[in-house]
Amino acid sequence: MFFLTQWARRRPTSRVAVAAAGALALGLAGYANTGAGAAVSAINGVQPPGAVSPKPAAGTPALIPNTGKKDLNRIAQMVQCGNTMFAAGTFSEIAQGGTDFSRSNIFSFKASAPYTITKWAPVVNGTVNSITVNPANCADVYIGGDFTSVNGTAVKDIAEVDTTTGNVVSAFGHSTAGGEVQTLAYAGGHILVGGYFQWMNGSDKNPFMASVSPTTGKDDGFLHLSISGHYHYCNKKGKCTTSTNSSVQKQEISHNGDYDLVEGNFTSVGGMQREQIFMLDLTTSPATVTPWTSPEWDGSSSSYPYQCIPAEAWYIRSAAWSLDDKTVYIADTGDQPNNGAGKGPRTGLCDAAAAFPATLGPVNHEWVEYTGCDSYYSVAADTSAVYVAGHPRWAENPNGCDAQGAGAVADPGLQGLNLSGGLLLRTSGKPVYTMSRANADNMLITNSGGANGHGGLWIGSTNRFGAQSCGQVSGHSGICFLPYSS
């Protein structure tokens, strides 16, 4: 690792060929010493240009801290519409300014200081995994998860909710079967829905991922993906394990609205071999699966340790687009490759952050950064930094597993990387960004680049082990907001 005197602002440079032939030739050797790009220094107390402040905004709502060993409560996702932020997850109380507010798995608050919690308080009787909104219509939100009623109205895992009354919008279908909803996204007049379900509002044509009308909730025919398959692992000793059923877990729409990254547990999508993640072209009708993929995760080449341990069938947990939509960043869990990296240098994409070209074809990584067998669950990016979070203890740790290897830097919870994958450090050698190891699995950047004083990075997490620290400031259990400069 070495230090620069200024913040790096350059675009990442590809370290390997992105063509399929180049990817295959690289093989396992492509993982050697790719744990980070150049580390970068900063002046103590000053945020890097174009990146968010390491100090959280005061006064944002928070979960009630707990002292147990389980993730008792969490903020699963946040979405902004106008100057209102909507938050969903698993909780019964939200704290702000010394007052506890009764809220049932969903609530809203002002997106700018003093971040006042609104009176909107729908009673959702189960976990809300995802929330989305038509940005042109803040009168309603769409929620998905594992619940059976909203404000006393019977629903099943999906609903449209009035943002004034908190009541179910009856015209929108509100019933699934076969499993809960994990992800929702609004795109070009469609609600894209993913999860474990086999049936959605009267249709069984598109299990695991369907497109529905924002008005009726009925399948609108925009997606016909035929998602299927799940993992079958066999390690070096011949022991085999089969993962659970197919599912779609998360998705991220590109900034230009043309593409959708989708993560989950599957082996075939649209008649093509796709594992862990695929990219949809939303400019076609119906939407089509693009040629974007990689032998590093899709199993198309035996040269890559593309699977992680059997307990982590879905290990690419999150993805994010660069602002120009030319690069895809991923955040991974998984401990180590199923074939076993042991205590030696890390290989593969397990417990790592990585960058890949968004080129519509087979690609290989531009860089990989390892925690050393701790999970990343979320990733976000802006003009100057890539933010990764989960429950890491270290960064730049390709030489350790559950221990600080040579060259690793202690940096718990939240880390900032430059666009070449190097850890952002202060001139003191300490990392710029940090927070409690709170299993942060959702990040949202608003008004990227500081167009006004309200933009920044919102981080949703759990309250595990009493976690409430962000940027070494307490009182931020579950929600942390790192603002841009005005």
For residue 237, the model assigns a pLDDT of 66
Q: pLDDT tier at 7 (50, 70, 90 boundaries)?
A: very low
Using DSSP's 3-state secondary structure scheme, residue 279 falls into strand
Kindly give, in sequence order, each residue whose CB lies less than 8 Å from that of residue 284, ignoring residues fewer than 6 positions away. Answer: none
Whether the predicted pLDDT of 233 surpasses 80: no
Kindly give, in sequence order, each residue whose CB lies less than 8 Å from that of residue 42, ignoring residues fewer than 6 positions away. Answer: 7, 48, 424, 425, 426, 427, 432
Query: Most confidently modeled of 335-349, 420-434, 445-459?
Result: 420-434
Nearest to 79 by CA among 129, 10, 31, 114: 129
Kindly give, in sequence order, each residue whose CB lies less than 8 Å from that of residue 59, ignoring residues fewer than 6 positions away. Answer: 96, 97, 113, 114, 115
For residue 140, the model assigns a pLDDT of 97
Chain segment 162-177, per-residue pLDDT in tens: 999 999 999 999 999 9
Nearest to 381 by CA among 409, 358, 360, 355: 355
Mean pLDDT, range 151-161, rounded to an integer: 97
Whether the predicted pLDDT of 290 surpasses 60: yes
- Please tell me the total number of residues recorded for the chain in this structure: 486
Q: Where are the alpha helices (DSSP H) in 125-270?
A: none
Chain segment 351-407, per-residue pLDDT in tens: 999 999 999 999 999 999 999 999 999 999 999 999 999 999 999 999 999 999 999
Whether the predicted pLDDT of 20 surpasses 90: no
For residue 420, the model assigns a pLDDT of 94
Q: Are the beta carbons of 201 and 211 closer than 8 angstroms?
A: no
**Structure tokens that stand for 181 in this block:** 């909803």
* CA 304-418-335 angle, 5° bins: 35
Whether the predicted pLDDT of 101 surpasses 50: yes
For residue 13, the model assigns a pLDDT of 31
Mean pLDDT, range 119-132, rounded to an integer: 98
For residue 245, the model assigns a pLDDT of 85
Whether the predicted pLDDT of 44 surpasses 90: no
Q: Which residue has the higher pLDDT, 329 or 13?
A: 329
As a whole number of angstroms, the distance between CA 203 and CA 307 comes to 33
As a whole number of angstroms, the distance between CA 335 and CA 307 comes to 10
For residue 38, the model assigns a pLDDT of 47
State the Rg of the chain over Cα.
21
Mean pLDDT, range 256-266, rounded to an integer: 97
The helix (run of H) or strand (run of E) holding residue 329 is strand 327-332
Instruction: Please give the C-alpha separations between residue 401 and each of 174, 307, 346, 440, in angstroms, as whole numbers.
Output: 45, 17, 8, 21
For residue 416, the model assigns a pLDDT of 96
Using DSSP's 3-state secondary structure scheme, residue 288 falls into strand
Q: Sign of the CA dihedral 295, 301, 305, 309?
A: positive
Mean pLDDT, range 271-300, rounded to an integer: 96
For the sheet containing 140-146, what is the strand order? 127-132, 140-146, 158-162
How does the average pLDDT of the chain come out, rounded? 87
Q: pLDDT tier at 31 (50, 70, 90 boundaries)?
A: very low
As a dihedral over the C-alpha atoms of residue 415, residue 420, residue 426, residue 430, rounded to 10 degrees, the angle is 50
Chain segment 293-317, per-residue pLDDT in tens: 999 999 888 888 878 888 888 999 9
**Structure tokens that stand for 196 in this block:** 């474990």
Q: Which residue has the higher pLDDT, 449 or 18?
A: 449
Chain segment 179-232, per-residue pLDDT in tens: 999 999 999 999 999 999 999 999 999 999 999 999 999 999 999 999 999 877
% of the chain surpassing 70 pLDDT: 85
- 340 DSSP 8-state letter: -
Q: pLDDT tier at 448 (50, 70, 90 boundaries)?
A: low
Q: Which residue has the higher pLDDT, 341 or 127?
A: 127
As a whole number of angstroms, the distance between CA 256 and CA 250 comes to 19
Q: pLDDT tier at 102 (50, 70, 90 boundaries)?
A: very high
For residue 19, the model assigns a pLDDT of 35
Q: Sign of the CA dihedral 416, 422, 426, 431?
A: positive
CA-based max dimension of the chain: 60
As a whole number of angstroms, the distance between CA 278 and CA 262 comes to 5
